[in-house]
Amino acid sequence: MGNAYNVMAATCPSRTVLHRIGARWTVFIVNALDNRPMRFTELKAHIRGITPKALTEALRAMEYDGLISRTEIPASPPHVEYALTDLGRSLLTPLRAIREWAESHVPDIERARARADAQR
């Protein structure tokens, strides 16, 4: 059956969805939460180079879209846990594929860039 949505259409709602998936840190967060929930500082340590502001914004946005859940745990000391929702977990396969493509094609891209640089 055909799909009701088409990202190529300027005003299609799938555009905003795609925009969120493609946002700077989404792929990192989904991959990081792959096999267990994590706390804020844990995520920050795991995803090297992310600033707390960027992490906060990404987590809030993903929570808003139902990709992750934020749970305050009233233990002592209290802390916060972020976890993938079912919806977020369904993103895991495609985003893991993206991550793997990136990691496995670094030499190809670097070769292409070097060739392009040399051409001038």
Binding site for DNA (CB under 7 A): 23-24, 39-42, 49, 51-54, 56-57, 59, 70, 76-80
> From its own copies, DNA, none, which one binds at residue 35 (CB under 5 to 8 Å depending on kind)?
none
Q: Return all residues near 61 (Cβ < 8 A) that are at least 6 apart.
A: 20, 23
> 21, 54, 80, 83: which one contacts its own copies (CB under 8 A)?
21
The answer to whether 68 touches 26, Cβ cutoff 8 Å, is no
Identify the CA nearest to 63 among candidates 22, 16, 26, 19: 26
43 burial via Cβ count (<10 Å: 0-12, 13-18, 19+):
buried
Residue 111 as a binder of its own copies (CB under 8 A): the answer is: yes
Residues 54-93 that bind its own copies (CB under 8 A): 63-67, 87, 90-91, 93
Torsion of CA 32, 38, 42, 43, to 10 degrees: 40
71 touches, from its own copies, DNA, none (C-beta below 5 to 8 Å by class): none
One residue of 22, 34, 41, 70 binding its own copies per CB under 8 A = 22
Binding site for its own copies (CB under 8 A): 3-11, 13-18, 20-24, 27-28, 31-32, 46-49, 63-67, 87, 90-91, 93-95, 97-106, 108-113, 115-116
